[in-house]
A and B are shown apart, each in its own frame.
Chain A
Amino acid sequence: MNNIISTTSWRSVKNARFLWALALFLLIVATVTLPAFRSSVSVNSLLATLAPIVIISIGQAITIMFGGIDLSVGAVAGLATVMLALSGTIPGGAAAAFALALFSGLVVGLINGLGVSSGINPLLMTFAIAGVVQGTALLVQNTSGAAMPLGFVSILGTSFGPVPLFALFAVLVLVGAWLWLSQSRTGRVLQAAGYDQQIAGRLGFHVARTTLIAYGLSGMLAALGGLAIVTRTYAADALIGRSSVIDSVATVLVAGILITGGVGSLLSVLPAAVIIAVVGQIITLTGTDANFQTIFKGVLLVAAMGVYQLAGGSLRIPWRLKKSAVPANKVGPR
């Protein structure tokens, strides 16, 4: 394995040992202490909840690895659910609507990429796009009057035993994205440019193209995540992704992917999501006030940052997200 995967990726995976151990530990604790956790229904429900957040977090992780961020993932997820409900009104039915949903996610992502590569701060660009997408999704939702293709959705929502189909998709996407990032030229450039965009520019890398790819993927994966959510909710809801932004950012943080860019392993998104989901489930199943979940997430963010601080990693987000005002490859008189 060591010889097939890039050394850096392999090292990042090994560095995340603690995370995997923690996830496993939590799973064991939950299974042992909570009878409710053990039921097959419960496992299925947990996996069904995990799938969308893992998928969306992969997209978020890609943009964060690239040194940016995507605040539009929630809105895009909502848009995807609404798009699927259009299946009654477009030729091709549900399958076409599915493709359309993914395609819209891609388009939104590409627009984000265009804005970011033209110099707009990703924080602001994706936030603005989130507004546009959410508005658009609400419009479609209000006017379409179409209905969710129940048959199609229930097929998408089938489970093999306790494992839902989308959970399998999530794992496939995870491994696929990880391999892509590690072994493809574009993926490597993404990691490099995410770490130091100035050097990347100086060396002549296609930073603009990589930006489009990173955000395009994030958009498409956010759409896929939205479709995963539909298999649970069976509803077209433009606002369904409200918490997805914070959830995905928290997941990526806990996964150890440095917000500075270029460091961390995509695979760690899985144990990170598991940790957050299991704790959430424990909170719900033990009847503790749901608001503790919110506090927990905040504390988790603080703790993750505390770990970074201790690890000595230097984090410089807002200004790393900006293009430097002085072009990197202009060397005037020193």
Chain B
Amino acid sequence: MKSSALSLRLVPAQLWVAYGLVLVCVLLLGFNTEDGFSPDRLLRILSNAAPLGVVAIAQTLVIINRGLDLSVGPIMNTAGILTAVLTASPGASLATTVPIVLIVGASIGVINGVMLAFTRIPPLLGTLATATVIQGLYSLITRGQPRGSVPPELRVLADHRVFATPFSGSLIIWIVLLVIVGLVLTRTVAGQRFYSVGANPRAAWLSGVPIKSHTLIAYTASGLLSAAAGILLIAYSGSPSLTAADTYSLNSVVAAVIGGAALAGGTGGMVGTFAGVAVLAFLTTVLTSFNVASPIQLVVNGAVLILMLFVNGRIAKRRAHA
């Protein structure tokens, strides 16, 4: 059942394009390699994309609310570094470490949220500044060398299948988060109001929607989800890093936008963002399978993004004139 909150005609058109692109990549992948269409292979690709997937959820939520969070990458790095450090200390376990890391991420989100809700600083700059400060802080504190190690229980998340299903722990966590956030956005009053705030903040404000609260919640959730994504990332990579997640900031924006979210706010959703992440993940894999050198991959990624932006723009324009 579709929610009346979403503008029905806008999202599907862009979704068709995004999912169409995913399909093309999957087909290319299938025909080009021996594993072909093996579901195991496809699921593994998605599983590896789980960190980007989770952080894209965060970004989509913020963008729907007419915001932008460029600090998600550094928050992911922080989460990774912190997890490694904490689990290396005596008496620590995942059960105690993970909540702490999530709380730290959420706290950074609160700082972003307070800054953006109560001042007129634009989100681009505000979160860019937060990002830079965070980067400086953890570079300073770790003196360039993050310590600690990733506990094997965590690595299991990324590698092993859960209960003999073909899904890895990371993938399940991503899907579950997608579903939860998606349900909140489409089925709850609060979720619908995020769209209203994004669509016309002033109209929503005048009608009594608590704008500041929504902004605060959006960025706090973003911080929380980014921390989770950071944990998923080191589960996959095996070692904490100061820079591994730097590209995730902008890539999460790309995934959201490919999935139909507009930087102006008010549109977007989990279904679309999933497609956006899948496009990025499969595109990279396809290019690698064709032995395309990484510089060319950069070019192709950029070109595909521009194409998607252009197409989405045309769709939006056609709608506005309808």
Let me know if chains A and B touch directly in the complex, using CB atoms closer than 8 Å.
yes
Q: B125 touching A135 by the CB < 8 A rule?
A: no
- Of the candidates B124, B129, B140, B144, the one whose C-beta lies within 8 Å of that of A302 is B129
* Chain A residues within an 8 Å CB radius of B180: none
User: What CA separation (Å) do A321 and B253 show in the bound complex?
Assistant: 15
How many residue pairs, one in A and one in B, have C-beta atoms under 8 Å apart? 161
User: What CA separation (Å) do A319 and B140 show in the bound complex?
Assistant: 35
Q: A253 touching B125 by the CB < 8 A rule?
A: yes
* Chain B residues within an 8 Å CB radius of A314: 120
**Which residue of A is nearest B135, CB measured?**
A294
**Which residue of B is nearest A312, CB measured?**
B120
Q: A119 touching B313 by the CB < 8 A rule?
A: yes
**Which residue of B is nearest A141, CB measured?**
B295
Q: A318 touching B310 by the CB < 8 A rule?
A: no
A2 within 8 A of B: no
A174 within 8 A of B: no
User: What CA separation (Å) do A317 and B127 show in the bound complex?
Assistant: 12
Q: A121 touching B140 by the CB < 8 A rule?
A: no
User: What CA separation (Å) do A296 and B253 show in the bound complex?
Assistant: 26
* Chain B residues within an 8 Å CB radius of A299: 129, 133
**Which residue of B is nearest A318, CB measured?**
B263
Give 9 CB contacts A-B under 8 Å: A121-B309, A123-B124, A129-B306, A142-B293, A291-B139, A291-B140, A293-B136, A298-B130, A322-B262
Q: Min CB distance, B74 to chain A, in Å?
A: 10
A179 within 8 A of B: no
* Chain B residues within an 8 Å CB radius of A130: 302
A200 within 8 A of B: no
User: What CA separation (Å) do A306 and B123 show in the bound complex?
Assistant: 13
User: What CA separation (Å) do A294 and B131 show in the bound complex?
Assistant: 10
A-facing residues in B274-322 (Cβ within 8 Å): 293-303, 305-306, 309-310, 313, 316-317, 320
Kindly state the interface size class of chain A when it binds its partner: 35 or more
| Residues of A contacting B: mostly | helix
User: What CA separation (Å) do A102 and B306 show in the bound complex?
Assistant: 23
Known: A132-B298, A138-B295, A259-B125. A298 touches B131 (CB 8 A): yes
Q: A132 touching B303 by the CB < 8 A rule?
A: yes
Q: Min CB distance, A133 to chain B, in Å?
A: 8
User: What CA separation (Å) do A306 and B119 show in the bound complex?
Assistant: 9
Q: Min CB distance, A302 to chain B, in Å?
A: 5
Known: A318-B264, A319-B66, A322-B263. A124 touches B122 (CB 8 A): no
**Which residue of A is nearest B304, CB measured?**
A128
B183 within 8 A of A: no
Known: A131-B305, A318-B122, A325-B316. A118 touches B136 (CB 8 A): no
Known: A119-B317, A294-B135, A309-B120. A129 touches B302 (CB 8 A): yes
* Chain B residues within an 8 Å CB radius of A302: 129, 133
Q: Min CB distance, B145 to chain A, in Å?
A: 12
Known: A294-B139, A298-B131, A315-B121. A131 touches B298 (CB 8 A): yes
* Chain A residues within an 8 Å CB radius of B67: 318
User: What CA separation (Å) do A291 and B242 show in the bound complex?
Assistant: 12
Residue among A289, A297, A298, A326 with the highest chain B CB neighbour number at 10 A: A298
User: What CA separation (Å) do A299 and B294 show in the bound complex?
Assistant: 34
Instruction: List 11 additional A-B contacts (Cβ < 8 Å) besides A131-B301, A142-B293, A298-B131.
Output: A119-B313, A124-B254, A128-B302, A132-B298, A136-B295, A293-B136, A298-B132, A299-B133, A301-B128, A309-B120, A318-B124
Point out residues on A near B: beta carbons under 8 Å.
Answer: 69, 115, 118-121, 123-125, 127-139, 142, 238, 246, 249, 253, 259, 289, 291-299, 301-302, 305-306, 308-309, 313-319, 321-322, 325-327
B137 within 8 A of A: yes
Q: A305 touching B309 by the CB < 8 A rule?
A: no
B45 within 8 A of A: no
Q: B257 touching A124 by the CB < 8 A rule?
A: yes
A-facing residues in B54-88 (Cβ within 8 Å): 66-68
User: What CA separation (Å) do A137 and B129 show in the bound complex?
Assistant: 28
Q: Min CB distance, B197 to chain A, in Å?
A: 12
Q: A318 touching B298 by the CB < 8 A rule?
A: no
* Chain A residues within an 8 Å CB radius of B132: 246, 294-295, 297-298, 301
Q: B293 touching A317 by the CB < 8 A rule?
A: no
* Chain A residues within an 8 Å CB radius of B317: 119, 325
User: What CA separation (Å) do A125 and B306 show in the bound complex?
Assistant: 6
* Chain A residues within an 8 Å CB radius of B300: 135
Q: B122 touching A259 by the CB < 8 A rule?
A: yes
8 nearest A-B residue pairs (beta carbon): A135-B298, A295-B136, A298-B132, A131-B302, A298-B133, A138-B295, A294-B136, A132-B302
* Chain B residues within an 8 Å CB radius of A131: 298-299, 301-302, 305
User: What CA separation (Å) do A314 and B120 show in the bound complex?
Assistant: 6
* Chain B residues within an 8 Å CB radius of A325: 264, 316-317, 320
**Which residue of B is nearest A124, CB measured?**
B309
Known: A138-B295, A295-B140. A316 touches B122 (CB 8 A): yes
* Chain A residues within an 8 Å CB radius of B120: 308-309, 313-315
**Which residue of A is nearest B313, CB measured?**
A119
Q: Min CB distance, B269 to chain A, in Å?
A: 18
* Chain A residues within an 8 Å CB radius of B316: 325
Q: A318 touching B68 by the CB < 8 A rule?
A: yes
Known: A118-B310, A121-B309, A129-B306. A298 touches B136 (CB 8 A): yes
**Which residue of A is nearest B134, CB measured?**
A298
**Which residue of B is nearest A138, CB measured?**
B295
User: What CA separation (Å) do A137 and B136 show in the bound complex?
Assistant: 28
Q: Min CB distance, B258 to chain A, in Å?
A: 10
**Which residue of A is nearest B121, CB measured?**
A305
User: What CA separation (Å) do A318 and B65 show in the bound complex?
Assistant: 12
* Chain A residues within an 8 Å CB radius of B253: 124, 127
Q: B299 touching A295 by the CB < 8 A rule?
A: no
User: What CA separation (Å) do A295 and B129 show in the bound complex?
Assistant: 9
* Chain B residues within an 8 Å CB radius of A123: 124, 263
